[in-house]
Structure 1
Amino acid sequence: MIKNLTAKSISLMLLLLIAVACSTHKPIASKTQNAYSLTATIDQRFKHAASQYKLMMEDLPKDKLPKTFVKKSNYLETSKPDWWTSGFYPGTLWYLYEETKDSVLLKEARRAMKLLEKQQSNKQSADLGAIIYNSFGTAMKIDPQLTYQKTLLASAKTLMKRYSSKVKAIRSWDTRQNDKEFVVVIDHLMNLELLFWASHATGDSSYYKVAINEAETIWKNHIRPDYSSCQIVTFDTKTGKLKNKRNGQGYSDESTWSRGEAWALYGFTVLYRETQHPEYLKRAEHIADFIVNHPNLPKDKIPYWDFNAPDIPNTYHDASAGAIMAAALLELSGYSQHNAKSYFKTGETMLETLASPAYTALLGAEGGFVLMHGAGYIPVMAEVDVPLPYADFYYIQALKRYKALLLGEKGTNAAVRYP
C-alpha cells in the first residue's frame, strides 16, 4: 500500500474497494455485451484509474513528477520537470478529468503543469513533445487557454532550434562531440504532434516541413526493409551522412525493441492523420502488420520487451509498448481500408489484457500507478517490471479511443476523435 496514507484517503479506499475493485477484474470485452454496457465497464476503468491517481497525489512531492514505483522499498520514485516522462502525469490527469469530471484531478493537473512551464525554453531537451505536448497539448483539447497555447508555441520554437538542415532531423541527444555526431532516436517521432500543432496554430509551414523531414529521415534510416526498427542512428553533423546504427534499449543492434516499434507505429499513424497522404498510411500499415503478425507476439498481445529476446517466453513483457500499440492500432483501424478489423481486434485484445488483474494494479497498490509490468531499460536492468507513467498515459488514451469507436459504430452523436 502507499505509505503515509491520511485518514481521509483510508476511508476513500474502503469505499472504493467495493465499488471499483470488482469491476477492475471484469474483462473489457464480452461477446454478450453491447456497446453501451461495454462503455459502462470502460467508465469503471476510468474511475479506478482516477482513484489510483488521487492516492498517488498524497505521496508526491510538490516539486516533482512521478517516475515509477519501487515495490521492495515501497517508494514512489520521482523526477524533476526536465525529465522526459514528466508530461505524462498531468496528461493522464486531464484525460481522467475529462471522463470523470472530478475537480480534484483538474486542480492537480494544473498544479503539475505549473512545474513544466519553464521547460518551454529548455534548449538542451529534445523531449518537449513528451513533456509539453502530452500535458499542455492534452489540456488544449479539453479546456483551451491562451496561456497553454503560448507555452506550446514557445516549446515548438525551442525544439526547432535543434533541427539540422543537413541531417533533416532534430538532434535527439547532445554528446561531447556535437560538432561531429548528430544522434536521432526513433522515440522522438513523439515530437511530431507538437510540430503539427504549431503549424496549424500559426499557419507557419516551417513546422510542418520539419515534421515531415524528420519522419522521412527516420523512415529511411531507422526502419528496416521488413518494417522492424532500430532505435538510434548517428549521422555526421557537417555532412548529414550516416555513421552508425545501434539499439540502445533493445537486445541487440539487429533486434527489434518493442517500444521502439510502438513509437514507429504511433508516429506514422499520426503522420497520416495530419497529412492524409496515402504513403504514410501504407507505412503505418506495414509497421502494424509486422507487429500484429509477428510469431513472437504472445496470445494476450502484450509484447515482450524485445521481439527477438533469446529467452522468450521466459522474459519480461512491456505494458508500455502494449499500451502505445493499442492506442495506435485503434486509431489506425479507423483509417485502414484493408486491415481495419485486424488492427481493431488486436488493439482490443491488448486493452482487455492490460485491464485484467495480470496488469492492472489493485486499488492502493503500485504507488498509485494504474498498470504494472512496464519495461524501461532492460539491457542495464533499470526500471524492470515496474509501473511507468507513459504506460498509464497511453492506456487511458487507448481506452478513450476504444470508447469513442464503440459509440461511433452504434451511430450515436459521439464524435470519433483521437485524443
Structure 2
Amino acid sequence: MKRTILAGGLALSAFIAPPSLNVDAQLNYCVGQATKTVASLPETPPNLPRNILPGKTNWNYIRYTDWTSGFWPGTLWYLYEFTKDAKWRAKADSFSRELAPLARQKAIDHDIGFQMYCSFGNGLRLTRNPAYKQLLLASADTLATLFNPKVGTILSWPRSVPNMEWPQHNTIMDNMINLELLFWASKNGGGKRLYDMAVSHAATTMKNHFRPDYTSYHVVVYDRETGRKIKGVTHQGYADHTMWARGQSWAIYGYTMTYRETKDPVFLNFAQKVTDVYLERLPADLIPYWDFQAPDIPNAPKDASAAAVTASALLELSTLVQDKTRAKHYRTRAEQMLERLSSAHYQSRSVNDAFLLHSTGHKPNNSEVDASINYADYYYLEALLRLKKLRAGKPVLATL
C-alpha cells in the first residue's frame, strides 16, 4: 500500500484497492430485513419502528412526534427506489402521511428536517407528488420560526433542557442536517430568506461550534438577545472537551451538504477539515466508539450509526473535492466502512429484524446503548444506494 502525505500532514492511502463489496447483495439483505419488520408492525400508532434494544428481538415503536419518526418512511422510500416495487411505495406513502401534521403545527424542536425531508423529501424526489411539495414548503416555514436573527442560528430545543441555561438560545450539531430542508425550500417557492437562514446557521456554527483541532461541541449556548457565545458543552458525548462520534458525523454530512447547496469553497474546505480529524482518529475497523475519548476504550460501545452517516457523507464528498488523491481516499474509506458494516459483526441478520447492530443513541442517559436504531439503518441504506449510483456513473443524488 502506498501512502501519500497531503498538505496539512494528512496521510492518505492513495492507491489502496477499493473493497469489493457486493452492493446489490447488501441492498437485497435490507429488503429481506424490512420485509420481516413490515410483517410485525402494529396496525395503528405508535407503529413507527425506532429501536431494538440489546438482548431483545422486537422493535420499540414511536409516534410521529418523535425526532426519529422520518427514518422509517425514508427507509421505505429507499427500498422503493431500489426495488421499483409498488408495495414499498404504498407503504412509504402511508407511513409518511402519519407525519403530515408536523408541517403546520407549532415547532416542538428543530428535527422537522429529519422528520419531513427524509420522508416526504425522498417521496417527492421519487414520485413528484405535488402534495408532498406543499407539505415540505409548509415544514420549512415551520422550521424557520425557530431561527433567531440576533444569534444567526436555529433554536434546537425551545424548552428547558439540563445545562442549556434556558431561556437562552441553544443550537446542537445535529441541526446542520435540518438545513437541507431550508435549502430545498428556498429553490422551490420558499424564497431567499430560507436560503439566507441556512447559510447563516452554517456559518455561525462553523465559527462557534468547533475547537481549534476541528472537533465539535455537541451544543453551543448563546445569549438570545446579543448572540454572544456563552459556552460549548456536550449533551450526548462523554465530556465537554471530547469528540462525540455521531456529532462529528453530523458535521461531516452537514458541511458536505452545505457546500453542495451553496458552492461556497469555505464550506468545502471546512467539510474536509472536520472529516480528516474524524478519519485520523478512527479505530482499525473504521467504526468509531460512541465517543472518541471515552475512558473505557477499547471496551466502550461502538456507534454503527455514526459510521453509516459518515460513509454516506464521504461518498458525496468524494465527488466534490478537486484533489483526486483526496477524493479517492474518501471514497475508499466510505467503501471500507460499508464493507465492515456489512459484516457478520455489524449486520443484524438473524439476531433481529433491523439492518444493523451496535449503535449508541444517548450513552450518558444509558439510552439505546449497543442497540439497533432506525437512523443507523436509514443512513446505511442511503450509503449503499449512493455507492450503487456512483458505480453506475450517476451522481449520489440521482434516482436509480
Normalising by structure 2, we get a TM-score of: 0.90
Q: Helix, strand or coil: the match of 2:256? A: helix
The aligned residue for residue 296 of structure 2 is 311
Structure 2 portions without partners, runs of 5+: 1-15
Residue 69 of structure 1 corresponds to which residue in structure 2? Answer: 52
Cα 1:293–1:415 change in 2 (3 A) is closer
Correspondences of 1:9-408 after superposition (within 5 Å): 41-61=22-42, 62-64=44-46, 65-122=48-105, 123-176=107-160, 180-202=167-189, 204-294=191-281, 297-338=282-323, 339-363=326-350, 365-366=351-352, 368-408=353-393
Q: Partner letter of residue 116 of structure 1?
A: L
Shift, 1:147, TM fit: 0.4
Q: Give the structure 1 partner of residue 4 of structure 2.
A: none
Structure 1 residues 179, 321: closer, same or farther in 2, change over 3 A? closer
| Matches of 1:210 and 1:418, distance apart in 2 | 26
Deviation at 1:73, TM superposition (A): 4.5
Structure with the bigger percentage of helix: 1
Question: In the alignment, which residue of structure 1 is the partner of 2:13?
Answer: none
Cα drift, residue 217 of structure 1: 1.4
Are the equivalent residues in 2 in contact too, given 1:50–1:105 (CA < 8 A)? no
Report if the CA contact (8 A) 2:50-2:61 is conserved. Answer: yes
The answer (yes or no) to whether the contact 1:322–1:350 under 8 Å persists in 2 is: yes
Q: Contact conserved, 2:315 with 2:386, CA < 8 A, in 1? A: yes
| Residues 137, 190 of structure 2: 8 Å contact kept | no
**Matched pairs, number:** 376
1:241-273 Cα offsets, whole Å, 9 max, x none, are 112221111110000000000000000000110
Shift of 1:30: 8.3
Q: Given the superposition, is the C-alpha separation of residues 144 and 179 from structure 1 closer, same or farther in structure 2, using an over 3 Å criterion?
A: same
Q: Deviations over 1:117-163 (max 9, x none)?
A: 00112322211100000100011111111000000000000111111
Query: Contact between 1:288 and 1:343, CA under 8 Å: does it hold in 2?
Result: no
> Cα deviations across residues 188-231 of structure 1 (Å, max 9, x unaligned)?
10111100000110161101000001111111111111110000
For 1:356-407, what per-residue CA distance to the aligned partner results, in whole angstroms no more than 9, with x for missing partners?
11111115x42x2101111001112110001111111111111111111122
Q: Is the 8 A contact 1:331 1:418 kept in 2?
A: no
TM-score normalised over the length of structure 1:
0.86
Q: Is the 8 A contact 2:54 2:370 kept in 1?
A: no
CA contact (8 A) 2:78 2:381 kept: yes
What per-residue deviation string (whole Å, max 9, x for no partner) do you get for residues 274-331 of structure 1? 111111110001111111112xx11221111111112211111100000000001111
Give 1:178 deviation, angstroms.
Answer: 8.7
User: What is aligned with 1:8?
Assistant: none
Q: What RMSD over aligned residues (CA atoms) do the two structures have, in Å?
A: 1.9
Quick one: distance in 2 between partners of 1:206 and 1:219? 20
Structure-2 separation of matches of 1:418 and 1:160: 27
Q: Give the partner amino acid of 2:87.
A: V
- In structure 1, the residue matched to 2:7 is none
Question: Equivalents in 1 of 2:342, 2:63: separation in Å?
Answer: 29
* Alignment partners' CA distance in 2, 1:188 and 1:180: 18
What's the CA shift for 1:179?
7.4
CA distance in 1, matches of 2:278, 2:18: 25
Distance (Å, rounded) in 2 between the aligned partners of 1:261 and 1:212 = 19
Superposed displacement of residue 235, structure 1? 1.1
Measured at CA, do residues 282 and 31 of structure 1 come closer, stay the same or move farther in structure 2, by a change above 3 Å?
Answer: closer
- Closer/same/farther in 2, CA of residues 234 and 392 from structure 1, 3 Å limit: same
